[in-house]
Amino acid sequence: MNTSICILITSTRVLSVRVRKELKEEAEKLGVDFREVIVKALEEAIEREKRKRLEKTIEGIVELMKDVKEEEWIKVIREWRGKR
């Protein structure tokens, strides 16, 4: 009989946050999971920031390409495909 054990070790950090006393008490009274809320909020904020930076990068590329004709792009793309 083969038995395998998989151990997953993740690295975490402690994050301290100050909130109004009333806010904390209300959240505790309602059974809000602080960790879950904070992790989800951080993940969403990071995703928004990444998307915003990507949009700025794309806007910059579009600005650089504004004078390039469609025929030129088609030619370059076909050349690149031929190199693969």
Where do the domains of the chain lie? 21-83
- Buried-exposed string 26-45: b where 16+ CB fall within 10 A, e elsewhere: eeeeeeeeeeeeeeeeeeee
**pTM for this structure?**
0.66
Average pLDDT along the chain, 84 residues, taken 10 residues at a time: 72 89 95 94 98 97 89 89 82
- pLDDT in the model for residue 15: 87
- Residue 28, classed as helix, strand or coil, is helix
